Copies of this chain bind each other. A is one copy, B any other.
């Protein structure tokens, strides 16, 4: 919290508009729920509210954190990797907007005008959930998002048909499983930064996405970096950060 904000806070206490306990809580920047410290300051620091990673949290914990953020004024609160149980409760109790394929929910959904251009490129149908998570994340962070799906390297002409899109985006999120070759080919067709997302799509020696990950890390194309397997959120988040630089 910056000096000027702190001063305003004290002024409100002095004016009797705010109880000292509440003011102290706000000044601290986060609120301790016992099982989690909710970071209210984050929105001010980054422009985005805290994102709730749902895996390993109970539905009750997720709802409580989301409610706490919403009650303090946050909108478009993203909850990722939420179980069907958690999604149902978020919808029932907080009116969250659900994104089933992406396993995500948005609490206090609010229209936001997308700016710039993030292209989310997807190799196959099975990769769609990860691509959806990336696209949703980037959109919530303020990016205009274009989608191109089913553009795997085994039918290279389908990709080349979208060559214009490869040049018009500020940054490209490239999602692929199996042999993970798509980012290498894309890197040869554009000079935009590419964030590659390996997916766990495949069997046998795909080793749950490791084959695709290794291919992407060893890409002979330039301008490619990589996130964790199935980490659509991470790719969409970084893409939005990069896209924002270009505005």
Residues of A within 8 A of B (CB): 30, 35-37, 39, 45-47, 51, 55-57, 61, 81, 123-126, 128, 149-150, 152-156, 158, 160, 170-171, 178-181, 184-185, 187-189, 191-193, 195, 198, 200-231, 234-235, 237-238, 241-242, 245-246
Residue contact B46 to A191, C-beta cutoff 8 Å: yes
Whole-angstrom distance between the Cβ of A35 and the nearest chain B Cβ: 5
Query: Can you give 16 contacting A-B residue pairs, CB < 8 Å?
Result: A37-B155, A46-B191, A57-B126, A81-B203, A153-B181, A153-B185, A154-B222, A155-B188, A178-B218, A179-B216, A193-B242, A204-B208, A211-B215, A213-B217, A222-B238, A246-B246
Complex: how many Å from CA A146 to CA B217? 25
Chain B residue contacts of A51, Cβ below 8 A: 222
Whole-angstrom distance between the Cβ of A208 and the nearest chain B Cβ: 7
Complex: how many Å from CA A149 to CA B61? 15
Residue contact B227 to A179, C-beta cutoff 8 Å: no
Residue contact B229 to A204, C-beta cutoff 8 Å: yes
Q: With A125-B36, A216-B179 in contact, do A184 and B153 touch (Cβ < 8 Å)? A: yes
